[in-house]
């Protein structure tokens, strides 16, 4: 689909594209004179209609009216629920905080603002939810993708295995058996994998 020459709000699409996070983006010129890159779906859906200057104006107005009402108008959408769920999971008062906060898993600074998250991830495909590629990593553009429940299951920590004298033993089962905390076992696993990937054989120096 060629959008070059078309107008979307204050934006005029230029004849220049790039690919970012597997999505096509168009160079656009705003009425205010600023240039910006916008993903195809955002133009077509009418989500982005300026370089950001329009949002800033609206935010300024809203500040006077009633502090911080969301200006994106998406508070009840599925993508917004996914975003706020992600923010909640990483809070210290979350009910399963041992799986997130206690393991040091957080949302990157950029994604603490809904618009940035939406910019990077777009709409969630049907049947998919947000998945961290490295389960010990943070919620960030580099470490997240949309994935089905099945893919996520395969990526879960409980499907990690150890090789103990040639026997395939689930990591968590073993941790349980020797009385090591889940979170500690996970860190140790990541550490061991890193060491192996460097081709090193190490053990504890006994004093
Ligand atoms: Zn502008």
pLDDT digits (tens, 9 = 90+) for 163-187: 888 888 888 889 889 998 877 888 8
Residue 135 CA neighbour count, 13 Å, CB half:
16
Ligand 1 centroid to residue 74 C-alpha, Å:
21
Ligand 1 centroid to residue 30 C-alpha, Å:
5
Where do the structural domains in the chain lie, given as residue ranges?
A: 7-66, 78-155, 158-197
Ligand 1 centroid to residue 108 C-alpha, Å:
26
Q: Which long-range contacts (CB under 8 A, 24 or more apart) does 69-77 make?
A: 70/114, 72/114, 72/115, 72/118, 74/114, 74/118
Ligand 1 centroid to residue 194 C-alpha, Å:
46
Ligand 1 centroid to residue 8 C-alpha, Å:
12
Ligand 1 centroid to residue 157 C-alpha, Å:
45
Ligand 1 centroid to residue 68 C-alpha, Å:
22
Ligand 1 centroid to residue 182 C-alpha, Å:
50
The tokens describing 83, both together, are 């975003």
**What does the pLDDT profile of the chain (207 residues) look like in tens digits?**
789 999 998 999 999 999 987 789 999 999 989 999 999 988 888 778 888 887 666 665 554 444 344 567 787 889 999 999 999 999 988 888 888 998 899 999 999 989 889 988 988 888 889 988 878 889 999 889 898 877 777 666 557 888 888 888 888 889 889 998 877 888 888 899 889 889 998 888 888
Ligand 1 centroid to residue 34 C-alpha, Å:
6
């Amino acid at each position: 689909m060629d959008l070059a020459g078309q107008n979307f709000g204050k934006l005029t699409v230029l004849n220049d594209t790039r690919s970012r996070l597997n999505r096509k983006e168009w160079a656009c010129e705003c009425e205010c004179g600023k240039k910006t890159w916008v993903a195809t779906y955002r133009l077509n859906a009418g989500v982005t209609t300026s370089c950001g200057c329009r949002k800033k104006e609206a935010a300024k107005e809203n500040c006077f009216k009633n502090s911080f009402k969301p200006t994106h108008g998406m508070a009840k959408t599925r993508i917004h629920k996914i975003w706020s769920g992600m923010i909640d999971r990483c809070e210290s008062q979350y009910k399963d905080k041992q799986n997130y906060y206690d393991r040091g898993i957080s949302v990157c600074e950029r994604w603490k603002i809904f618009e940035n998250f939406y910019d990077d991830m777009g709409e969630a495909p049907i049947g998919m939810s947000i998945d961290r590629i490295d389960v010990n990593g943070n919620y960030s553009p580099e470490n997240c993708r949309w994935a089905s429940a099945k893919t996520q299951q395969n990526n879960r920590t409980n499907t990690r295995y150890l090789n103990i004298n040639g026997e395939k033993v689930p990591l968590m089962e073993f941790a349980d058996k020797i009385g090591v905390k889940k979170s500690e076992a996970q860190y140790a696993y990541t550490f061991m994998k890193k060491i192996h990937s460097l081709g090193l054989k190490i053990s504890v120096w006994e004093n």
